[in-house]
């Protein structure tokens, strides 16, 4: 059985105590160019609220939809709406990337020159492409600065549902039958794509391969609706996944760690929304669209299986720091992994922090542990040789 929250290694606590000697500057990177921009704003708001002001000094860096980076006022972010649509607050100063200078990632531009913004660690509260997919992680690696979450490979694999499911399947982990199509495949041979999709049976789900928060997803129950669902998904990504629908309960489990990841207690999503699945509207718009049951009503053996498979998926997909693993639980008791989220939502209604809170880890402690893990991983990488002597 995976270790629980109460079994967090003692050396992590010691490392955390050592850092209390000074206040650390935490860059919270949020917004972004993806369709999950609004969700990122809500997540950043809650990460900011969870930061211990006695230990951390937040530096907010917002990315607007055009890709422009700017420094943000924490008070304005906290005053923004708690539910979408949420707009990126007005910028205090623009920032631009600069060549690596120890302890500095960005330089502010105010018309009178540039001043370095020193950061000790970055928490990239970004969801979807251009943030959760390894792009920002690569930038932070080049800047040689610690950051929360998976590295370049784990982030990229976790974002691409097609590659993710192929790796899980190769490792012998349970996934639903699926096909992946490029947009040009569909444009050149729509009948052939439809024929392959028919092999999966109905209902089926059509979703962009590289997106989250249920953006662009359609539940298809009639073959006549397939083409419309594909065209809708292709507006968000050039690759689309078509997956066999699994009848069952939606179970989620949070994972936390680096060398020895641990799993939270599982929770369940109970959907009431007219969409019939955990859609974007059910998650963020309709207050009664879904309910979270924490802990999920599972027997001990099933709960342990969810935890074990969550940690296994986390390891197989090269994740670090945090992830949420989503499952379907059939009436037969069979578990199917739906997907992994390497930077899951941190909103007030998000399952990841709620599961850890129910497991005995408060939001404040959770954010502190994630920052500790960022430093631990960075130390390991910094100790590697860069030349053969």
**Catalytic residue of the set 245, 280, 345, 369:** 345
- Comparing C-alpha atoms, which of 201, 235, 173 is closest to residue 35? 235
Peptide bond into 295 cis (omega under 30): yes
Cα 131 from chain centre: 9
Give, in degrees to the nearest 5, the angle at Cα 324 between 263 and 85: 145
Task: Judge whether 341 counts as a catalytic residue.
Answer: yes
- Comparing C-alpha atoms, which of 244, 240, 238 is closest to residue 229? 240
**Catalytic residue of the set 326, 350, 369, 376:** 326
**Catalytic residue of the set 132, 133, 250, 339:** 339
Task: Judge whether 36 counts as a catalytic residue.
Answer: yes
CA distance 108 to 124: 19
**Catalytic residue of the set 12, 36, 133, 376:** 36
**Catalytic residue of the set 34, 214, 254, 341:** 341
CA distance 104 to 188: 49
User: Coil, strand or helix: which one is 145?
Assistant: coil
Task: Judge whether 324 counts as a catalytic residue.
Answer: yes
**Catalytic residue of the set 324, 350, 372, 376:** 324
**Catalytic residue of the set 56, 278, 280, 284:** 284
Which of the 8 DSSP states describes residue 66? T
Task: Judge whether 260 counts as a catalytic residue.
Answer: no
Task: Judge whether 213 counts as a catalytic residue.
Answer: yes
**Catalytic residue of the set 213, 214, 338, 359:** 213
- Comparing C-alpha atoms, which of 105, 180, 116, 175 is closest to residue 147? 105
Task: Judge whether 339 counts as a catalytic residue.
Answer: yes
Catalytic residues: 36, 213, 284, 324, 326, 339, 341, 345
């Amino acid at each position: 059985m995976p270790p629980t929250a109460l079994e967090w290694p003692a050396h992590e606590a010691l490392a955390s105590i050592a850092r209390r000697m000074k206040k650390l500057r935490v860059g919270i990177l949020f917004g972004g160019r993806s369709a999950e921009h609004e969700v990122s704003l809500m997540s950043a708001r809650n990460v900011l609220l969870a930061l211990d002001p006695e230990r951390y000094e937040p530096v907010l860096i917002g990315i607007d939809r055009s890709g422009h980076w700017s420094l943000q006022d924490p008070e304005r972010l906290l005053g923004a709406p708690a539910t979408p649509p949420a707009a990126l607050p007005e910028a205090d100063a623009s920032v631009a990337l600069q060549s690596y200078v120890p302890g500095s990632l960005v330089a502010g531009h105010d018309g009178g020159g540039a001043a370095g913004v020193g950061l000790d660690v970055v928490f990239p509260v970004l969801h979807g492409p251009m943030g959760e997919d390894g792009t920002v992680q690569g930038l932070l690696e080049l800047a040689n600065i610690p950051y929360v979450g998976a590295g370049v490979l784990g982030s990229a694999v976790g974002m691409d549902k097609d590659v993710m499911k192929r790796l899980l399947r190769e490792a012998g982990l349970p996934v639903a039958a699926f096909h992946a199509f490029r947009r040009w495949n569909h444009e050149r041979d729509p009948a052939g794509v439809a024929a392959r999709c028919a092999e999966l049976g109905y209902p089926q789900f059509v979703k962009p391969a590289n997106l989250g928060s249920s953006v662009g997803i359609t539940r298809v129950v009639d073959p006549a609706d397939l083409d419309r669902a594909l065209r809708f998904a292709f507006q968000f990504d050039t690759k689309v996944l078509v997956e066999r629908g699994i009848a069952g309960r939606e179970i989620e489990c949070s994972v936390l760690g680096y060398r020895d990841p641990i799993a939270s207690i599982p929770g369940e999503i109970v959907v009431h929304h007219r969409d019939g699945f955990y859609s974007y509207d059910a998650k963020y718009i309709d207050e009664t669209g879904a309910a979270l049951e924490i802990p999920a009503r599972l027997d001990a053996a099933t709960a342990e299986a969810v935890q074990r498979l969550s940690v296994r998926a986390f390891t197989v997909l090269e994740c670090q720091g945090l992830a949420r693993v989503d499952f379907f639980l059939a009436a037969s008791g069979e578990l199917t992994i739906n997907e992994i989220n390497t930077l899951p939502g941190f909103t007030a209604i998000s399952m990841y922090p709620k599961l850890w809170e129910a497991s005995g880890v408060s939001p404040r402690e959770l954010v502190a542990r994630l920052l500790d893990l960022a430093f631990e991983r960075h130390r390991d990488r910094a100790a590697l040789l860069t030349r053969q002597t």
